[in-house]
Every structure is written in structure tokens, then in C-alpha cells.
């Protein structure tokens, strides 16, 4: 298969995606994952009864392959036990779609990761986990770059025009700021250590409508650069992985 060729199944699931939407309720578990490099974001919602996935929905902000893989994995998981669904791999998804171009295989991984995240959160609910974190840990480099891209408060957002800006979840004010900045900046990323923005679904919808990228269950560890902010080191709390993002500014 050529790197740009899509199977009929991929095209079908892209044009006619199954199980699109959201599920709501106290008994719903959500898995949210994102690929900061390509910008794809995915959410999978599951409803579990008697250890079986009775209902499943997805939302994604991504390419056609992301839509197709999310659609397929919901079909594969529906009706299966939690243990069976947890074993679904990106290879399973790709094979069921009759293959994916190599450059799009990360989409199948994204779908599988979102499903596993949803199952993980379901298990956490069952075991009554500790309350979600509401505060960010101390960030290395804040004092060093206080005059070079680190802001505690921004009076004039126009000074951040065309900048790559990271905004930490501090409640409604930070949500409003992110939505305003997205109008003048090419890339605004909103980071929260929780599974929900300030524990408020309306805040999330405002950010999504403004097309602000959200990184859930993430923390900023360090600000990196020479004289000004150049990169931000991020800790993915869900996967316990550390990676870096290019950035020009961070609003604490």
C-alpha cells in the first residue's frame, strides 16, 4: 500500500463514522489523549454495566484517519468485557480497517490509547480514587524567565500576538484569556492537571469552540531557554511520560 492510499473501510468509517458523540452521567468514564506534535485530540466515552461496555462514543479533533480509527475502535469495543476491550491494540484497529498508511499509524495508536485511558478511569472510579489535583507543582525556571516570557498576569494580550502560548488552568479567568488569545495567536495550549477543565464542562466547551488545544492530566515541570522562553517540559500524568513543547510564553 502506498503511503497516501486509504482502504475502502477507512474511507467508509471516515465518511460514515459510527458512535460519534458524548455520554453523560456519573457512571460514564472518559479517556482523553492528544498528540501535541500533529495536534490530534481524541475523547472516548464508555458506559460499563456488569463489566461489559454497553455503550461507547467518541469525539476527535483530527484528520480523516483519526476519525476512522476512533470509529472502528468503538465498534470493536462495544459489547466486549472491560478486560477484552483493554487488550485491543493499534494493530487490531489497523487490520480491521484493511491497513493504514504508515504516516497515519499514530492515529490508530491514539484511538487505542484513548480507549485504554477511558477504561483506566472507569477502574479508578470503581476503586474510589483520591480527588483530582487542583494545584500545579512548582515549576523550574519561573524566576529565571520572569522578564522573558513568563507572565502571572497579562494586561495587554496584544503583546502575545503570533506567539506560541501555554496557559495553566486557573479557573474561569484563564479560560477567558485562552479564548481571547486564540484569536490573535497561531497556537494556544491550555494545560490542566485534572480530567476536566476547572471541573466545569462549560469551560471545556468554550475552549473547544475557540479551537484552543487542551492537555488534560498534564503538568509543566520546567521552562527552558537561553534569554527567553523557548520550550516547556511537560509531564503527562496519565501515561507518566515527559516531553517538550516549543513555546514563546507561559501564563501562570
Residues designated catalytic:
38, 107
CA pair distance 78, 48, nearest whole angstrom: 10
Instruction: Let me know: does 121 contact 29? Beta carbons within 8 Å.
Output: yes
DSSP state at residue 20: B
Q: Write the CB contacts of 128 (distance below 8 Å, at least 6 apart in sequence).
A: none
- Listed in sequence order, the DSSP H helices in the chain are 8-15, 64-77, 82-86, 90-96, 105-126, 172-182, 201-209
41-49 and 52-61: which strand pairing? antiparallel
Q: Write the CB contacts of 50 (distance below 8 Å, at least 6 apart in sequence).
A: none
CA pair distance 31, 19, nearest whole angstrom: 15
Amino acid at each position: 500500500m502506498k503511503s497516501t492510499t486509504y482502504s475502502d473501510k477507512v474511507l467508509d468509517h471516515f465518511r460514515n463514522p459510527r458512535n460519534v458523540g458524548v455520554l453523560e452521567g456519573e457512571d460514564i468514564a472518559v479517556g482523553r489523549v492528544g498528540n501535541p506534535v500533529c495536534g490530534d485530540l481524541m475523547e472516548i466515552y464508555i458506559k460499563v454495566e456488569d463489566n461489559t461496555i454497553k455503550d461507547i462514543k467518541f469525539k476527535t479533533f483530527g484528520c480523516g484517519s483519526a476519525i476512522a480509527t476512533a470509529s472502528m475502535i468503538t465498534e470493536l469495543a462495544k459489547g466486549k468485557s472491560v478486560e477484552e476491550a483493554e487488550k485491543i491494540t493499534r494493530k487490531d484497529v489497523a487490520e480491521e480497517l484493511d491497513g493504514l498508511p504508515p504516516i497515519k499509524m499514530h492515529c490508530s495508536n491514539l484511538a487505542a490509547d484513548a480507549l485504554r485511558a477511558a477504561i483506566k478511569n472507569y477502574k479508578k472510579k470503581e476503586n474510589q480514587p483520591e480527588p483530582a489535583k487542583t494545584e500545579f507543582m512548582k515549576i523550574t525556571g519561573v524566576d529565571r524567565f520572569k522578564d522573558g516570557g513568563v507572565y502571572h498576569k497579562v494586561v495587554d494580550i496584544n503583546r502575545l500576538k503570533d506567539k506560541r502560548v501555554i496557559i495553566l488552568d486557573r479557573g474561569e479567568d484563564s479560560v477567558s484569556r485562552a479564548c481571547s488569545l486564540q484569536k490573535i495567536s497561531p497556537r494556544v495550549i491550555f494545560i490542566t492537571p485534572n480530567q476536566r477543565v476547572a471541573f466545569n464542562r462549560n469551560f471545556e466547551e468554550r475552549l473547544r469552540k475557540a479551537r484552543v488545544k487542551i492537555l488534560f492530566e498534564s503538568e509543566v515541570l520546567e521552562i527552558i531557554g537561553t534569554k527567553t522562553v523557548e520550550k516547556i517540559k511537560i509531564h503527562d500524568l496519565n501515561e507518566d511520560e515527559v516531553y517538550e513543547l516549543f513555546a514563546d510564553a507561559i501564563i501562570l
